[in-house]
Structure 1
Amino acid sequence: MTCSEETPSFRLAYVPGVTPAKWVRVWNERLPDVPLTLVGVSAAEAPDMLRDGAADAGLVRLPVDRTALSAIPLYTETTVVVVPKDHLVAAVDEIAVADLADEIVLHPLDDTLDWERPPGLPANERPATTADAVALVAAGIGLLVVPQSLARLHHRKDLTYRPVTDAPASRVALSWPEDETTDLVEEFIGIVRGRTVNSTRGRAKPQAQAQDRSAKGKRAETGGARRKPAAGGRSATGRSAGKKTDGKSAGKNPRSGSGGRSAGRGRPRRRS
């Protein structure tokens, strides 16, 4: 027997260097009945995967084709140069592109930086991947300029990295097919933008609104009970509104029943 409706699911592509763990954790808390599947993909292949429908959304590196894909920029990465720990660059806090003019700088085929002209001296061959280029840096063949997250991803004990102040920067974005902005895509957009469960769009919102209405109702009940006078005329201050006193209340004259001297019984005037 087959089900007439498929179980909802969400496929999220992500490129090397991007860590979606914090957003996946929030997703699992808010939508435990909708499994999220992570799909690792290279930066070059990510746009095609989204266009082909192999993923519902993706954490990609800009630029992407905006005629077919929507994209929300999330953050911009620092660009760094990866060098051996005993290299001169390791002795400074940061460098400029001009400081690499006399160095062999590797430019892998999967480079994600938009160079007008790559820095330094070119190597005899371009490495196929960033991982291959990192291995060549460790072998003393050259240096490598990459987004900081990729330097961390391919970390080695014998290498370090330093910021390059004027190099192109890589921007990470959430992207999805423009004509496939589903409720689940809207949910993930809300998560990466930091919306709370009460403001997130899509299927989780009605439940959140119901919880919010329930909480407001409870506050109204408890708050109203404190402000409402109790039976017997007791006021908000706890005093009884109609309770008799012993005549010693402030401003009261027990004989006259009013404040001060009795009206019309002042000191008699002396006759002239």
Structure 2
Amino acid sequence: MTAPTTFTLGYVPGVTPAKWVRTWQERVPGVPLDLVQVSAADAAALVRDRDADAVLLRLPADRDGLHAIPLYTETTVVVFPKDHHLAAADEVSTEDIGDSLVLHPHDDTLDWAAPPGKVADHRPDTTKDAVELVAAGVGLLVVPQSLARLHHRKDLTYRPLTDVPQSRVALSWPEAETTDLVEQFIGIVRGRTVNSTRGAQPEPVKKQRKAKPVTKPAAPRRGQTRKPRRRS
């Protein structure tokens, strides 16, 4: 007895594939879906090395040899202590944090030309480490909103930050191999229904015309006779 085929999906921190996994389980119940969390830095290599069939990663990323379908764009936010003066604003501009120390962790995926604020000399290894420093009052942190939610603390809050790069979440898989299972998952993340198809639609069946009923000549009324037809 052969083991069932498995579809392995990688995903970076902050991305929540739960709704797509539920749809997969409904549509492809015979193929288990295994989730593998991977760091943003290693996400592209995960599928390039065939350790996963596909991965949900953040752009920009090294896409050499990979397909990528952007799915959505995340709001960029600035994280700070709840008692910070920025908490009074609905959104924050880069000018508002121009004089503040801004942490820039090594796993940052935002495509900065130049990070805002005063960049700290020390770069935390991870976003989680940076959040701990913000809670200690060391500085501010700019991240995609999903990461601010992932590392939420009761003593911290965040606000949308304008005029800065935004992170795009994308589905990526090897260019050389688009399997049927990958196609299935692409359809799910793109919101295709069960009956939809990427190929050409079949031509509709032509309806056969119904034969017209043969009308019989009306019977002559009483006192009338049918006139014989003239032969041509």
Q: TM-score, normalised by structure 1?
A: 0.71
Asked if 2 retains the 8 angstrom alpha-carbon contact of 1:187 and 1:201, the reply is no
Instruction: Please give the alpha-carbon distance, in whole angstroms, between the structure 2 residues aligned to 1:201 and 1:156.
Output: 44
The reply to whether residue 193 of structure 1 matches residue 190 of structure 2 is: yes
As a proportion of its length, which structure holds more helix? 1
Q: Which letter does structure 1 place at the counterpart of 2:185?
A: F
Q: Does 1:68 align with 2:65?
A: yes
Provide the residue aligned with 2:51 in structure 1.
54
1:176 aligns with 2:199: no
Secondary structure of the corresponding residue to residue 45 of structure 1: helix
Structure 1 residue 122: deviation in Å?
1.8
The gaps in structure 1 that reach 5 residues or longer are: 203-208, 210-272
Q: 1:6 offset after TM fit, Å? A: 4.8
Change over 3 Å in CA distance of 1:38–1:200 after alignment to 2: farther
Deviations 1:89-124 (A, max 9, x none): 111001111211100000000001010001111223
Residue 137 of structure 1, aligned match among 119, 134, 137: 134
Matching residue of 2:117: 120
SS of alignment partner, residue 98 of structure 1: coil
Alignment of structure 1 residues 115-264 onto 2, 5 Å: 115-200=112-197
Are 1:106 and 1:142, in contact at CA under 8 Å, matched by a contact in 2?
yes
Which residue does 1:108 correspond to in 2? 105
Residue 20 of structure 1 corresponds to 17
Q: 2:28 aligns with which of 25, 28, 31?
A: 31
Return the letter of the residue paired with 1:107. Answer: H
| Equivalent residue number for residue 225 of structure 2 | none
Amino acid at match of 1:83: F
Is residue 9 from structure 1 mapped to residue 11 from structure 2 by the alignment?
A: no
State the SS of the aligned residue for 2:20: helix
Higher relative contact order structure (alpha carbons within 8 Å, sequence separation ≥ 6): 2
Give the aligned CA root-mean-square deviation in angstroms.
1.7
Aligned to 2:219: none
Report if aligned partners of 1:90, 1:160 keep a CA contact under 8 Å in 2. yes
**Secondary structure of the structure 2 residue equivalent to 1:11:** strand
- The structure with the largest strand share of the pair is 2
Q: Would the alpha carbon gap of residues 93 and 46 (structure 1) be closer, same or farther in structure 2, given more than 3 Å must change?
A: same
Equivalent residues of 1:187, 1:200 under 8 A apart: no
C-alpha change, 1:180 and 1:6, in structure 2 (3 Å) is: farther
- Residues 24 and 150 of structure 1, relative CA distance in 2, 3 Å threshold: same
Q: Does 1:40 align with 2:41?
A: no
Once the two structures are TM-superposed, the CA of residue 66 in structure 1 deviates from its matched residue by 3.6
- Deviation per CA, 1:22-78: give whole Å up to 9, x if none: 000000001111000000000110001110000000100112334400000000000
Q: How many residues are paired up?
A: 201
Deviation of 1:201 after TM superposition, in Å, equals: 5.9
Cα 1:46–1:147 change in 2 (3 A) is: same
Q: Secondary structure at the match of 1:188?
A: helix
Aligned residues with identical type, % of pairs:
72
Q: Where in structure 2 are there 5+ consecutive unaligned residues?
A: 203-232
Q: Return the alpha-carbon distance in structure 1 between the equivalents of residues 27 and 121 of structure 2.
A: 52
Asked whether the 8 Å contact 1:61–1:171 carries over to 2, the reply is: yes
Q: Which amino acid aligns with 1:46?
A: A
Q: Does residue 1:91 correspond to 2:72, yes or no?
A: no
Shift of 1:165: 1.1
Number of the residue aligned with 1:257: none
Deviation at 1:200, TM superposition (A): 4.8
- For normalisation by structure 2, the TM-score amounts to 0.83
Supply the distance in 1 between the matched residues of 2:197 and 2:145 (Cα, whole angstroms).
Answer: 31
SS of the equivalent of 1:72 reads strand
Q: Distance in 2 between matches of 1:180 and 1:156?
A: 42
